Each structure stands twice: as structure tokens, then as C-alpha cells.
Amino acid sequence: MTLEYTGANWNIPEDDFTQSFYEQNLSQFWRPEDISLQPDLNVWHVLPEEVKLAYAQNLQVLTFLDTYQGDIGMPVVSRAMAKEFHQRKAVLNFMGAMENAVHAKSYSNIFMTYMSNSEIDELFVWGEENENLQKILEAIVKHYRNLDKMTYERNYTMNGAFDSKAFDKALYKAMVASVFLESWLFYSGFYYPLWFYGQGKLMQAGEIINLILRDESIHGLYVGRLSTLLLETMTSDEKEEMKQFTHDLLYELYELEIALIEEIYDPVDLSHDVKIFVRYNANKALMNLAYEPVFEYEEVNPVVLNGLNTETKTMDNFSMKGNGYQKMISEALRDDDFYFEKPSIGKK
Ligand SMILES: [Fe+2]
Ligand SMILES: [Fe+2]
């Protein structure tokens, strides 16, 4: 009898890194509702319209990326793992849940605090109709869809007709797309909230962005580790083909990123700076995939690095900057919360 079903046995590590990523992921779990955004409103309401628009459009880009990373990116990579890798699947599934239920939800919380319903509706229409954003998503999501299709074929093709080499390539390509999204594409959107945060403004939204960034950085690292393991199983010709694919996708995305950055950041005169930050993070994504950087080293705006640097920050009462984020104060519901005085109209 062949063993069809196996249980997740955490007593036997699947490799030397998955359980550490598991610990790290769970230890940094957080909830969108933990962070009250009200303290930002006095700053938000006096910002010029073009600044508000650029800020909101960036969070909209981030919303789209997180939505698809949660809807399809992480779940598909998880399902593609060989069936005995229950721990890897658990870690990927946990990450996938964070994308949608925590990260995308947090951007919506920012919108709901800062903006009116009609402004939010308009913003989502902007995202849906934005050609560059749609093209960026297509360039990423098509690799997830292809892997999804091949995973289905792997699981349900009879008589050994399944091509495992082609499957591995599809898996590798989806992982490259995933690392590019996590470790690179997010950063053009992160730039603006970090730019404010580094100057002590819109601090609560900045705390949210830092929490998201902390998650995305381990997501990119983890999928990067899995991708290099897979690459090691390939022949040198296949490795060369995958390297070529990685660089082709990088330049395709870079061109789309540049167009999107100019559209969002030109009105606030920051495109030049954001492009430097984006090249800096493209190099970091390549390193997560164990490739050499392709862009020359450039100095990143120190204000943004200040916004990024959550570990060395100490409390500063003048700028309101601090390591701990301000949690929303809530209390448990009690029976008498539902006791309402009876209306006394018409009665004595
Ligand atoms: Fe995310
Ligand atoms: Fe992520």
C-alpha cells in the first residue's frame, strides 16, 4: 500500500531554516486594529491635495500587490510544495494570510480614517484603471497562474504524463516573481510613508508600514531560500535559463515601475529619489535570490533610511517618534453595554 496521506510532524525539521521562519513569523504577528490612526489626522488634514493624492495612490499600489500575494501568490507556492512538506506549507500559508487579512486590511484602515467614502471609491477606480499597475500585476500573477495550472496537472495527471522538469521551472519562476514582489515592488509604495515617518509625520500610518515591511522582508527571504534550494537541483543549462528569466523579468518590471513612479511621484517632485530607492531594493531582491546586484550603488535619501530604521529608534518626545506603536484602547463587551433606557416619549 502506498502512503497517500501523511501528518505534519514538527518533531522532524524539514530543513535547517523553515522552523526558524515559523518562529519569526508568529512572533511578529500583529493586527491592523491594534494601531489607532486618529493621531495622524491633524497632519493629514493640512497636507496639500497633490501630496494626499500621491500618498493614497501609493497605498493603493500596495493594496493591489498585497491582495494578489494573498489571493494567489503565497497559496499557489504553498500548494506547489511536494506533498510531504507540511511545515513549509504551513509557513507559506501563514504568510499568505498576513498579506490579505492584515496588510491589505491595514491600508483600507488608513483610507477609512483619512478619506471619505467617495474618495476611497475614486481611488480604487484609479487602481483598477491604471495601466502600469495592471501591467505590473499581470507580469507577476501570470507566473502564479501558470504554476497553479501545472500544480493541478501534477496532482491529477494519470499515467506519468507529467513533466517534472517543466514543473520545477514554473515553480522557480513563480518564486522569483514572489521575491520581486516582496523584496522589491513594495518599496516604491513604502517610500512615501517612510519619507513622512522619517520626518516625524503621519507616524501611526508609518508604524503600520514598518510592521508590514518587517513581514515582507522575511517573506522575501524565505521564498528566496526555497528558490535557491530548487535551483541547486537543476542542470547548469537550466540554471542559466533561470538566470536569464530572472534578469528579463527584472528589466520588464523595472520599466513598468519607472512609469508608475513618474505618474505618482512627479507631482510631488520625488521621482528621482524614489527611483534610487527602487534600484537599491531591486539589488536586495536579487541577493535574496542569490544573484549579484545589477544596479550601481547609490546613496538612498537619509530621511527614508531614518524612517526604515526601526531597530535603533529611541523615544523622541518632540517628534513623537518611538519604537512602540500606539494601540487602540478597547474593552470587552458586557451585558449592560446592551441595556438602553426605554424611550419615555408620551409616558410619565
Ligand atoms: Fe504583505
Ligand atoms: Fe509578503
pLDDT of residue 319: 41
Ligand 1 center from residue 156 Cα (angstroms): 31
Ligand 2 center from residue 74 Cα (angstroms): 8
pLDDT of residue 161: 76
pLDDT in tens, 96-126: 999 999 999 999 999 999 999 999 999 999 9
pLDDT of residue 332: 63
Report how far residue 284's alpha carbon sits from residue 291's, in angstroms, rounded to the nearest whole number: 9
pLDDT of residue 3: 73
pLDDT of residue 4: 83
Ligand 1 center from residue 95 Cα (angstroms): 8
Ligand 1 center from residue 220 Cα (angstroms): 10
Q: Report which bound ligand comes closest to the CA of 211.
A: 1
Block means of pLDDT (10 residues each) for the chain, 348 residues, are 86 97 96 95 97 98 98 98 97 98 98 98 98 98 97 83 92 98 98 96 96 96 98 98 98 98 98 97 97 96 84 41 50 61 50
Q: What is the DSSP letter of 183?
A: I
**Contact at 8 Å (CB) between 133 and 63?**
no
Ligand 1 center from residue 218 Cα (angstroms): 10
Q: Which residues are identified as catalytic?
A: 107
pLDDT of residue 250: 98
pLDDT of residue 347: 46
pLDDT in tens, 64-97: 999 999 999 999 999 999 999 999 999 999 999 9
pLDDT of residue 1: 65
Ligand 2 center from residue 142 Cα (angstroms): 18
pLDDT of residue 157: 81
Ligand 1 center from residue 99 Cα (angstroms): 4
Q: Report which bound ligand comes closest to the CA of 178.
A: 2
Ligand 2 center from residue 47 Cα (angstroms): 30
DSSP letters, 292-318, are: ---SPP-PPPHHHHHHH--SS---BTT
Task: Please measure the distance between the N-terminal and C-terminal CA atoms of the chain and give it in whole angstroms.
Answer: 82
**Contact at 8 Å (CB) between 204 and 326?**
yes
| Top-tier CATH class for 18-312+320-327 | mainly alpha
Ligand 2 center from residue 183 Cα (angstroms): 8
Q: Give how far Cα 52 sits from Cα of 47, 58, 202, 250, 268, Å.
A: 6, 10, 11, 30, 10
Ion ligand 1 residues within 5 Å by Cβ = 66, 99, 103
Q: Report which bound ligand comes closest to the CA of 104.
A: 1
Which of 58, 57, 90 lies closest to 75, judged by CA? 90
Q: Where are the domains of the chain?
A: 18-312+320-327
pLDDT of residue 321: 43
